[in-house]
Structure 1
Amino acid sequence: MSSLPTSTPAAQGVDAAGIQAFLDALEAEPHLEPHSLMLLRHGQVVASGWWAPYAPDRPQLLYSLSKSFTATAAGFAVAEGLIRLDDPVISYFPEFEADITDPRSRAMLVRHVASMASGHVEETLDRARAQDRDELVRGFLLVPPDKDPGTVFAYNQPATYTLAAIVQRVTGQKLTDYLRPRLFEPLGIGEVAWIADRSGRELGFSGLHATTDAIARLGLLYLRGGVWEGERLLPASWVAEATRVQIAHEAPPLGDWADWQQGYGFQFWMARHGYRGDGAYGQFCVVLPEQDAVLAITSETLDMQKVLDLVWEHLLPAFGVGPLPGGGEADAALADRLAGLALPPAEGKTAPAGSTGVFTPAGGTCADQPTLTAIEVDPGGRVTLVDDGERLELGLGAGESGWTVVDEPVPVAVSGGWTDAQTLALDLAFLETPHHLLVTCALGDRTFTARWRTQPLHGGPLLRRMRAPHSV
């Protein structure tokens, strides 16, 4: 995989002090943990960094940023004549023809599921699953829309799932296989992996694992109107339609989150500046056509609006119209800082005497992670989690960053230790996701508690759900 071209901020008209201020603001937010960022200007990477223990080559769970990759797959299928936006959705699933009798469901078009305009006024995932656990498209179509399709916006996972299912049906391939020669290989995107459901169909609305670099490349392709290194990959018409308002919001969908009230395209959000794909807990691909810039971010936060507020406050003013003279010293200081980014580890001491043994869940069950049934501490201080009958061994000898990284059977970094003679407190960062599991063992009664700092949206055992599925 070739690297994206790099340059200094000053050479591309970006004030390094503005990037420094953005980093300061990210790190100062108490409920925002940055994991990585890449900033491109005029097609050049002018800043990139990963907060240790996160690293450039690790894929990240993108959550709903996956939707923008699904839209791209749909764009290729439209260009190849495999999908027509004004076809009824039901026409791609003739086996459901007799079941789907609601006229609004039958009137739903491909463009409506692509733009979250199915006619439903709220999320339908739970209702669709209740209708048909094994075939979500059928379950979705059995949930009658509240209004005519195309007249109302509602962020709706089964809509994207249905778009993804159509692509996979007409191509006879999984999304990753279909995108490999059309998107991933031309853009130089390496390994990716996508969570599939029990039918083997990749989810589309979530579940894609890819690197920060892959996010940046997708944004750059859209910024360039579908052209990559002089070759047109996506039709300009698709890029234009995907990144303009297809459906407006009748009312603010998420309280005072201003950047979620600007309209929706084809699996892209419009923003106060430019447009973006984004995913739960702070995964972003922000495209800024006026600034000729792309920003890719991975993070862990519940306040995604805050991330964008900080971008508008600190990064937008940093963009100039031409090279900035005399920026060498500021650029060098920024490069040094980016090279040394790291998350503060949890502190802890070595094991006290008599601290070995097996700890069981306080109260009998770990509510946040029910499959976690025991934690073992051996005489050498090694900690082993027993989850769904499988074992995850963790070392506690802190590395240079204060984190000890374990790659198998699931990529995780651990920090912490004994906070006093009776308490073992560990911070487990699952490195291919945004999530941390905070574990506390009490020596007095040999019990433990474990809670997610942010709750994973794909449930299940740690060793199977807290990493990318087998890569392709």
Structure 2
Amino acid sequence: MSEQLKGFIHTITEQQLNVFSIRILQKGHLLAHWDRDKDQRRVQHSISKSFTCMAVGLALEEGLIHLDATLGDYFSYDHDHVPATQRNPPSPQELKLSDLLRMSSGHDSPPLWADERASLTEKDWAKYYMSLPMDRVPGEQFTYSSGDTFMISAMLQAATGQNVKDYLTPRLFDPLGIHDVEWETSPLGVTLGCAGLWISNEELSRFGQLLLQEGFWEGRQLVPADWIRQATSQQIETTGDGDWGKGYGYQFWMCSHDAYRADGAYGQLCIVIPSKEAVICINSEEENMQGILNAVWNEVLPLYTQR
């Protein structure tokens, strides 16, 4: 089924973009797919964040948490650990779930990046996050932060009594037919939330179709439609280049052509284009993610306009 994708394959080959797999759907039907070798489960990096967002929507619906919930509702602030010169308000206790969802926590240097997580001697990552001073008032400025999403996961675990993976398994993964999910955890067993989810590109395309259908799947409303509309609408402005400057929702990026996407480092992409009833999913190991997106806009998007 790769004949329709000749232009895309030619572009990524010519530009040496290390793409492994692409699947394109319209109205729930597979239009075309291409796998360099075979589609297999790979770590999805920050696409994991968008799955964590679904857990938030479900917990909201179940009344287990609310958007104005603060970190202080669940975790203590290690005031004594912070130098006296940096104890001015605000403190991490004041951070709302809504601030974390839209990456506006108020840190100039976001905590808990992958390298920092690997070297951190503190096993309680939530405690570590709560010990760090903030640089500005939260809720006003976007700064991409995997640490924010980890704290969302930690909040959810405290609110629901389950880690995010276990909470989502009967509510999302099993209904989508995504079984035996692997999702990395912190040393204390908190689902990373921000990264570490292992699924295949075909499984990712099911998630994309669920998003396109606003949470409806095989006769069931798995995730509230209002939540998906809210999460995939712009909640804060961004200042990046290209498709990173189109705004951010709740753990989703806005992008060109009135589309939105979940994305992960090195080219994991789940692009939803509601106006075309389209889903495009890609797995890669490639730093030039904008190059992949450009290939999608130039070579894949026209396949939908011709139908």
Could you state the TM-score of these two structures normalised by the residue count of structure 2? 0.90
Q: Kindly indicate whether the alpha-carbon contact (under 8 Å) linking 1:59 and 1:212 is maintained by their aligned counterparts in 2.
A: yes
Q: Which residue in 1 is equivalent to 2:13?
A: 27
Q: Give distance in 1, aligned partners of 2:116 and 2:266.
A: 24
Select the residue among 153, 164, 186 that pairs with 1:164. Answer: 153
Select the residue among 112, 121, 130 that pairs with 1:125. Answer: 112
Q: What amino acid sits opposite 1:76 in the alignment?
A: L
Q: Kindly indicate whether the alpha-carbon contact (under 8 Å) linking 1:131 and 1:142 is maintained by their aligned counterparts in 2.
A: no
Q: Give distance in 2, aligned partners of 1:125 and 1:309.
A: 30
Q: What amino acid sits opposite 1:142 in the alignment?
A: S
Q: Which residue in 1 is equivalent to 2:276?
A: 291
Q: Which residue in 2 is equivalent to 1:107?
A: 94
Q: Give distance in 2, aligned partners of 1:143 and 1:185.
A: 37
Residues 387-398 of structure 1 correspond to what in structure 2 (within 5 A)?
none
Q: Which residue in 2 is equivalent to 1:36?
A: 21
Q: What amino acid sits opposite 1:61 in the alignment?
A: V
Residue 142 of structure 1 deviates from its aligned partner by 2.2
Q: Which residue in 1 is equivalent to 2:64?
A: 82
Residue 97 of structure 1 deviates from its aligned partner by 7.4
Q: Kindly indicate whether the alpha-carbon contact (under 8 Å) linking 1:128 and 1:143 is maintained by their aligned counterparts in 2.
A: no
Q: Kindly indicate whether the alpha-carbon contact (under 8 Å) linking 1:59 and 1:192 is maintained by their aligned counterparts in 2.
A: no
Query: Is 1:204 the equivalent of 2:190?
Result: no
Report which of the two structures shows the higher radius of gyration computed on alpha carbons: 1
Q: Kindly indicate whether the alpha-carbon contact (under 8 Å) linking 1:104 and 1:149 is maintained by their aligned counterparts in 2.
A: no
Q: Kindly indicate whether the alpha-carbon contact (under 8 Å) linking 1:194 and 1:203 is maintained by their aligned counterparts in 2.
A: yes
- Aligned identity (percent) is 37
Residues 154-193 of structure 1 correspond to what in structure 2 (within 5 A)?
154-193=143-182
Summarize deviations over 1:324-344 as a string: whole Å, max 9, x none.
xxxxxxxxxxxxxxxxxxxxx
Select the residue among 241, 256, 270 that pairs with 1:272. Answer: 256
Q: Which residue in 2 is equivalent to 1:258?
A: 242
Q: Give distance in 2, aligned partners of 1:67 and 1:286.
A: 14
Q: Which residue in 2 is equivalent to 1:221?
A: 210
Q: Which residue in 2 is equivalent to 1:415?
A: none
Q: Which residue in 2 is equivalent to 1:281?
A: 266
Q: What amino acid sits opposite 1:267 in the alignment?
A: Q
Name stretches of at least 5 consecutive residues in structure 2 with no aligned partner: none
Select the residue among 28, 47, 69 that pairs with 1:65. Answer: 47
Residue 313 of structure 1 deviates from its aligned partner by 0.8
Q: Give distance in 1, aligned partners of 2:71 and 2:121.
A: 17
Query: Which one is further off, 138-147 or 305-314?
Result: 138-147
Q: Give distance in 1, aligned partners of 2:131 and 2:248.
A: 24
Q: Which residue in 2 is equivalent to 1:384?
A: none
Q: Which residue in 2 is equivalent to 1:345?
A: none
Q: What amino acid sits opposite 1:217 in the alignment?
A: R
Q: What amino acid sits opposite 1:219 in the alignment?
A: G
Q: Could you say if the C-alpha distance between residues 97 and 232 of structure 1 is closer, same or farther in structure 2, counting changes exceeding 3 Å?
A: farther
Greater share of residues in strand:
1
Q: What amino acid sits opposite 1:71 in the alignment?
A: C
Summarize deviations over 1:178-232 as a string: whole Å, max 9, x none.
1111001111223320111211222111111011122111111111111112311
Q: What amino acid sits opposite 1:272 in the alignment?
A: S
Name stretches of at least 5 consecutive residues in structure 1 with no aligned partner: 1-7, 10-15, 323-472
Count matched residues.
Answer: 298
Q: Which residue in 2 is equivalent to 1:244?
A: 233
Q: Could you say if the C-alpha distance between residues 216 and 193 of structure 1 is closer, same or farther in structure 2, counting changes exceeding 3 Å?
A: same
Q: Kindly indicate whether the alpha-carbon contact (under 8 Å) linking 2:90 and 2:136 is maintained by their aligned counterparts in 1.
A: no
Residue 120 of structure 1 deviates from its aligned partner by 1.8
Q: What amino acid sits opposite 1:34 in the alignment?
A: V
Greater share of residues in helix:
2
Could you state the TM-score of these two structures normalised by the residue count of structure 1? 0.60
Q: What amino acid sits opposite 1:319 in the alignment?
A: Y
Q: What amino acid sits opposite 1:87 in the alignment?
A: A
Query: Secondary structure of the equivalent of 1:297?
Result: strand
Higher relative contact order (CA 8 A, sep 6+): 2
Query: Secondary structure of the equivalent of 1:162?
Result: helix
Summarize deviations over 1:80-125 as a string: whole Å, max 9, x none.
11110111121022x4476697434232101111110112234222
Query: Secondary structure of the equivalent of 2:305?
Result: coil
Q: Which residue in 1 is equivalent to 2:140?
A: 151
